[in-house]
Chains A and B, each alone.
Chain A
Amino acid sequence: MTSINKGATQQIATIISNKRVGAYHQIHINVGEIVKSCRPGNFVAISVGGDSSRMILRRAFAISRVSESSQYGGTMELIVAPHGAGSRWLCSQIEGAELDIVAPLGTSFGIPTEPINALLIGGGYGSAPLFGLADVLKSRGCKVDMLLGASNGSKIYAPMEGKRSVNSLKIYTEDGSMGETGRVTESLLEIVSNRNIDVIYSCGPMGMLRAITELVAHTEVIHQCAVEESMACGIGICMTCVLPIRNEDGSTSMLRSCIDGPVMDGSRVQWDLVGQIPEVHQ
């Protein structure tokens, strides 16, 4: 009857490799059978700090991609920015270390049933799950263009093998150290109309997701975005990661970005109400 967290399992996963890529760590873990239920957009929640850790909450990471066919069986790739104490701990773990994970969690990007023109937009390490998504879209015959942006070149994540899945890739940095100077939203409307874009898939900072939503608000383009809101549990029980979402009838619901997200319809997120309390409609 309930479908919340369906497919999610808690298990111990071993780190197969951990290497630095620019400002990030690319970490591969052996997760076995669950790769079959992982979809682009899903995330994994990982315990950090070891058994006597004073960090009691899991950290949520977008699943960058999964592979069923490696010599280890099912593997999962994560792109982690060593920002805080938890992610720094994770980035310091070496090959062979064991992680307590819960996955897959959350909603996934909607995959079209017919070939469409897709534009994938990533901000910083938000690009990570987009390459796995690009593979899936390509296999469905979609045309896949990608825009990546970050403050500087070391924060652009664009692996060689990932580039093969996209028809075109354009990079923007705010300091001009890689690609064009500026932000991914710079000439977005032009790109959307020149390339007849049907769907935008985005992942990155909330400000970027909001800006994309506002730019395409008066177009026919569908915007599926993976939101980033701080979570305590990742499984829907703590109610901390809520976002104001507009319902069909015009009222607003505070939905959990862990189970009703992270992938949401950008046009339904009430970006201007984030951080406020909407009025109750009854």
Chain B
Amino acid sequence: MTLPVDMSTTLANAWFPTPIFTASGCASSGKELAQFFPLKDVGAIVTKSVMTKPRHGRPTPRMAETPSGMLNSIGLQGPGIDSFLANDVPWLLEQKARVIVSIAGETIEEYSTLARKLRSVSGISAVEVNISCPNVENRGLVFACDPDASRRVIDGVRKTIGGELPIIAKLSPDVTNLPEIAKGVVDAGADALALINTVLGMVINLETMKPHLGGKTGGLSGPAIRPIAVRAIYQVHAALPHIPILGMGGVASGRDALELILAGASGVSVGTASFGNPTALISIQNELRELLAARGFATLQQAIGYAHRDEKP
């Protein structure tokens, strides 16, 4: 007989009953998954990154399966912030889901514009600032690859949105010094970090002998990138032990989620696993609870960063 585990977690001032969230871009705005489980049963729905205007995204083919993973090249197709706030957020709140809104922009000003629109929206738990989508036309626009640009985006959002709503900066693993970029965005006002976005990759089609994806490059996700996520979370938690991390990258089981938590994640987003299994979040959550109990953790909080316990201070 094991005691029930307190699964609750926090990201800055936002509280969640469980640490298992959807991952932005892998759950749309929740309606599609609602047929398979009540959205309020998971920690939070992190919505697909939304921009100021409606957007068609990149040309097809947008997908290539790879060993234990997949490449995607969606390019932030979406309805635009106005339609999103009018339709999707109220619906999610009606479902009693906790909502983290993910935003993406092409310019520093666009992020501030999005933040201004969000400032007056009640009921959302946090905003994820996606500065690391790999599927933009110009790699120079991946803000998270440039410490200065990252800081300026977060600074603009912080100044616009005020002090209440937690800001989660979503970072890319495709950088030389991730802890340095993480420190920069925290200094600029990020309350938490989302690690990791997809890893830039490419598949060449042997029939056409050209890049397979319409956008040529794509973001690699799935279990293939999980060790990269674990490394990134471990590194950043070691450098910034007091900054909460929302971990993601190839989590497909409770075992995987626990691995990210031990590395330093306070919450875990499940993305690509939902493509293969629409009820993945629920089974991961149940497995995680059992794994924590079996290891004698009374609370999830005790397990966060536990892999660092023998490191020198």
A242 touching B36 by the CB < 8 A rule? no
15 pairs, CB–CB < 8 Å, chain A vs chain B: A2-B31, A2-B35, A4-B35, A10-B277, A56-B276, A100-B277, A102-B278, A230-B63, A232-B72, A233-B276, A235-B278, A237-B27, A238-B74, A240-B60, A240-B61
Taking CB atoms, residues of chain B closer than 8 Å to A2 are 31, 34-35, 91
List the A residue with the shortest CB-CB distance to B252.
A56
B35 touching A8 by the CB < 8 A rule? yes
B275 touching A232 by the CB < 8 A rule? yes
List the A residue with the shortest CB-CB distance to B28.
A237
Given contacts A237-B274, A275-B60, contact A282 B214 (CB under 8 A): no
Q: Is A155 an interface residue (CB 8 A)?
A: no
Taking CB atoms, residues of chain B closer than 8 Å to A47 are 276-277
B34 touching A54 by the CB < 8 A rule? no
User: In the assembled complex, how far is the CB of residue B198 from the closest CB belonging to chain A, in whole angstroms?
Assistant: 13
B77 touching A1 by the CB < 8 A rule? no
**Interface residues, chain B, CB within 8 Å of chain A?**
25-28, 31-36, 48, 53-63, 65, 67-70, 72, 74, 77, 91, 94, 214, 222-223, 252, 272-279
Q: Is A221 an interface residue (CB 8 A)?
A: no
**Bound CA–CA A55/B224 (angstroms):** 11
A5 touching B32 by the CB < 8 A rule? yes
Taking CB atoms, residues of chain A closer than 8 Å to B223 are 56
B35 touching A240 by the CB < 8 A rule? no
**Bound CA–CA A252/B57 (angstroms):** 13
Residues of A257-275 at the interface with B, using a CB-CB cut-off of 8 Å, are 259, 274-275
User: In the assembled complex, how far is the CB of residue A193 from the closest CB belonging to chain B, in whole angstroms?
Assistant: 35
**Bound CA–CA A204/B67 (angstroms):** 28
- Contact for B31 among A4, A240, A278, CB less than 8 A: A4
Taking CB atoms, residues of chain A closer than 8 Å to B222 are 56
A237 touching B33 by the CB < 8 A rule? yes
Given contacts A10-B279, A54-B68, A57-B276, contact A236 B60 (CB under 8 A): no
**Bound CA–CA A8/B35 (angstroms):** 7
Taking CB atoms, residues of chain A closer than 8 Å to B65 are 55-57, 232
User: In the assembled complex, how far is the CB of residue B62 from the closest CB belonging to chain A, in whole angstroms?
Assistant: 4
**Bound CA–CA A282/B82 (angstroms):** 12
**Bound CA–CA A47/B53 (angstroms):** 36
Centre residue among B34, B62, B222 by max chain A CB count within 10 A: B62
**Bound CA–CA A278/B279 (angstroms):** 34
- Contact for B56 among A237, A238, A277, CB less than 8 A: A277
User: In the assembled complex, how far is the CB of residue A262 from the closest CB belonging to chain B, in whole angstroms?
Assistant: 15
- Nearest first, the 5 closest Cβ-Cβ pairs linking A and B are A240-B63, A233-B275, A236-B32, A5-B35, A240-B62
Taking CB atoms, residues of chain B closer than 8 Å to A240 are 60-63, 72, 74
User: In the assembled complex, how far is the CB of residue B76 from the closest CB belonging to chain A, in whole angstroms?
Assistant: 9
A275 touching B276 by the CB < 8 A rule? no
User: In the assembled complex, how far is the CB of residue A11 from the closest CB belonging to chain B, in whole angstroms?
Assistant: 11
Taking CB atoms, residues of chain A closer than 8 Å to B277 are 10, 47, 100
**Bound CA–CA A62/B182 (angstroms):** 47
Centre residue among A4, A58, A238, A252 by max chain B CB count within 10 A: A238
